[in-house]
Structure 1
């Protein structure tokens, strides 16, 4: 039987009634960036520092000057394929030299980079259809791809640039393309956790200003800092918080493929220690996984000064478990920094410069700091949550959707779609408004249910997703993945599901309508690793899980 932990039992749910009046928090004034985006992505002057690409035992280091020469050659070749300033070039971004040279080369050529996530094999057809339509809608003309018969390019009506044609080029030292980057520098897609992804258009000056703000906010210095990251470059945390922040600060970056963490969670901290990293970042689920694996007692993390946690709701138990696991390894409590951000504000919204160790605010929610410089946040005064709104210097230009471009409100407030509150000068985010139900006079968020499952089931559950039912949007369904060993054993799976439902009832006073226990890999995820609740709701309604469904408790 699954018991209810103290952390889950003490979690207080907010009444469904009106929140208290909104409170505005404004970060320090934004500075004018020291470099334009053109200067940021053409680091010919930096010969001493650069990027180390790690992939298993393979290790390759290039200085920023060498990367600039390669990017210039890529830009020249892109021009031969017809790419002109202001054009848009789409590609799947991997954590490798080819991607970095392509990304910088697109900007060298004055074009915008359209960052595509990696498609899953199971949803390859759907990915090509959906993103092909999105690319057509956002006037993207080119796609760099390994597949010259790309289904994605066909759906989008794109001209294919073979990835092989951009490899092995002689770096340029003369005749370097120096086109100005157009108004739009980057189009990155929303996670699609609750709806169809949308292309978020980021302006050139906005992007340059934001990464310069991050550099100043976290006080990155070339002589002292070294960023270590496995986060995918097709996601905003990996692309902007790691790669672009390293590029503007001209600090060393160690870049690993995302699979290095997926196949071995200990690899992240082992590499962080071995490379003497001082800065890293990851979502909550990564900290949760990293806290459960063994480490060598000689591992030294005392040099880490910033370890950001963001990208999804930060669970207080995750923070406590991670601190417990890493304290013997020398990680200082102040290095662990919960944060909040979204693509519509480039990446960062709120974060302290230094952590205060794992903290819990009203209702068991983790404080996420005050707004960053140049950012303003509006939310109710806690503890009753309400809409979280943002505005400031780094808001996106608008959304590219299948139905056309939707401009962002200039100078106004942007609704993040999250609910939260402000307490003691810090933002607390509760959950996505699209996945909340009013039950017995209280607001229950999908994230509340998922947190109880993780807190109470522990290693018995690999992942979980709560979702409102199609038939009754005031009731939740729950999909729970179990490890292969549990799935093979078969015995006790139904009891596990019943125990999970009882734990949610005891902790939150909510009866989950159905619990589906499924095999690992069944729950669909976004490109950043978030569970796709809308897709889970669809799978439940269609009843098409087949052999992936191990037990259903209704």
Structure 2
């Protein structure tokens, strides 16, 4: 991909608006109806891995099974335009249910799975009112209906019942997918989750754009492998739906495959002769910290997206040190940037170039993808990033109703800059402090926390102090070795505070080391800094604290 931008050196001065846009327009594409009905593709298909078993269907069989699910949904009352709330799991039954809703002409409303009892009330108050306002009368979930928080008058449908196999060849009615094809909830990293409304033609065009950027040289030998959760946009759109659009062989595994044993990711890439995959920065960090069996071969890998959170240069180096001896080439990893309000993808480094470290040691997330535009302030100082172009959301679905997007630009809430025609994203603007003319982002502190803690730290959350004294506090999750050694936990806290002071020039107000699983995360695995600050300030983390410095 290439990009063009007005030169900040020759034609603009610092502080003026600088516009970056893709130099490559989107190409023609299949309709969403054509994408979800791959009846004619016999040789390639989908493999779903569940624990120790796997199920493979050709695309023809996948479409036939989805048609059966569609018929069952229509008999239940789903018709053109009907919103169907779904907890999309990484199972064959859930995938067939998604395709079945679209084949029936319905709108897929993707919500994260209900949490455990401790956070169930938060789930009810944030998601259920939105679903009720949309008149979601159907909720597809594998959870027990008795324990499922349902909208008023909603009927629970089990994906296994919808996707039950039969041998009848079905003809799918020629039903168009409505303008409102997908509602995907934001991850809730700031404020309450809201439903991002995506049109069907936008989604189809976006999928074709991502496929175009993959530069597939030989469709018969391409294999996409992903464990990313399908209820999140990166897993559903950037991986599964794009793979379906491209008609490449796919392997979909459960997120627990990686969470339970990080080495499983690279092991699966070798096992299935993968050429494409994707994951957030934290997954590359965890994958770099574990040992691997002999004989893994990652030399077929051609593209691995890294997005969903800020990229850390040291993580890229550590991962290459681990995966390189297994055949992984540096140019395979593609730092990328996107957000649900732009469907999923806004920018990505060029295919087979590799990551680039730019001004200030920051990692480039590349030129813009076709159909995207960005507005920032000229110069290398971080400024608000505004996104424009063809893929912006139609609007938000909230508990008050539908809120249409206003204007041609969308404030992403992120800060960054443009250099040599490429975008650099530094962090969220709501978690930044200014010190001696420098901006220090929460992500800067968290990166140091992971460096200092190495494999002993599974998560790190930095947030501005509630007292407003322009300092950060930090909460880090320690592994089992720290759980059994308060002295080691205290030493980690001291080293973290000292390193942040040395590198960033700011003193942390408090450093708290807590047990694993204490830091709240979004549906995509990103830390929820605002919720973590609330838990920290209220004392709810006290009983899970291993060590604390104040």
1:268 paired residue number: 265
Is the Cα–Cα contact under 8 Å of residues 343 and 392 in structure 2 kept in the other structure? Answer: yes
Q: What secondary structure is seen at the aligned counterpart in 2 of 1:492?
A: helix
Greater shift in the superposed pair: 460-469 or 333-342: 460-469
1:404 Cα deviation (Å)?
2.7
- Match in the other structure for 2:481: 485
- Corresponding position of 2:515: 519
Deviation at 1:100, TM superposition (A): 0.8
Match of 1:108 in 2: 103
Structure 1 equivalent of residue 439 of structure 2: 443
CA distance in 2, matches of 1:450, 1:473: 19
Return the alpha-carbon distance in structure 2 between the equivalents of residues 255 and 30 of structure 1. Answer: 31
Pick from 277, 280, 294 the counterpart of residue 277 of structure 2: 280
Greater shift, 356-365 or 48-57, is seen at 356-365
- Distance in 2, Cα, partners of 1:56 & 1:486: 30
Counterpart selection for 2:378 from 381, 384, 402 = 381
**Mapped contact 2:382–2:426 kept (Cα < 8 A):** yes
**Residue 304 of structure 2 aligns to a residue in which SS?**
strand
Q: C-alpha displacement at 1:300, in angstroms?
A: 1.1
Q: Distance in 1 between matches of 2:115 and 2:209?
A: 34
| Residues in 1 aligned to 2:200 and 2:69: alpha-carbon distance in whole angstroms | 20
Residue pairs, 1:59-458, within 5 angstroms: 59-121=54-116, 122-145=118-141, 146-154=143-151, 156-170=152-166, 172-220=168-216, 221-410=218-407, 412-458=408-454
Q: How far off its partner does 1:74 sit? A: 0.9
SS of the residue 1:376 aligns to: strand
CA displacement 1:34-60 (0-9 Å, x = unmatched): 310001001111111110111232011
- Structure 1 residue 116 displacement after superposition: 1.3
Q: Is the 8 A contact 2:130 2:399 kept in 1?
A: yes
**RCO greater where, 1 or 2, for CA within 8 Å and sep 6 or more?**
1
Q: What is residue 25 of structure 2 aligned with on the other side?
A: 30
Q: Is the 8 A contact 2:452 2:492 kept in 1?
A: no
Listed one character per residue, the Cα deviations across residues 366-405 of structure 1 (whole Å, up to 9, x for unaligned) are 0111000111112233420101111111111111122332
- 1-side partners of 2:500 and 2:39: how far apart? 57
Q: How many residue pairs get matched? A: 535
Match of 2:15 among 17, 20, 26: 20
CA offset digits 1:76-103 (Å, max 9, x no partner): 1111111111011011111110111001
User: Is the CA contact 1:49–1:250 (under 8 Å) kept in the aligned structure 2?
Assistant: yes
Partner of 2:531: 535
Q: Where do 5+ consecutive residues of structure 1 fail to align?
A: 1-17
Deviates more, 1:297-306 or 1:118-127: 118-127
Q: Secondary structure at the match of 1:254?
A: strand
TM (normalized to structure 2)? 0.94
Q: CA offset at residue 307 of structure 1? A: 0.7
- 2:43 aligned to 45, 48, 71, which one? 48
Instruction: Find the aligned partners of 1:540 and 1:464 in 2 and give their Cα distance.
Output: 13
Report the secondary structure of 2:149's partner residue: helix
| SS class of match (2:477) | strand
- Quote the residue 1:496 is aligned against: 492
- In structure 1, C-alpha distance between the alignment counterparts of 2:456 and 2:59, rounded to whole Å: 45
CA separation in 1, counterparts of 2:504 and 2:332? 32
SS of equivalent residue, structure 1 residue 531:
coil
How does the TM-score come out when normalised to structure 1? 0.93
Partner SS for 2:462 = strand
Question: How far is the alpha carbon of 1:266 from its aligned partner?
Answer: 0.8
Partner SS for 2:65 = helix
RMSD between aligned residues: 1.7
* TM superposition shift of 1:23: 1.7
Q: Does the Cα contact within 8 Å between 2:365 and 2:422 map onto a contact in 1?
A: yes
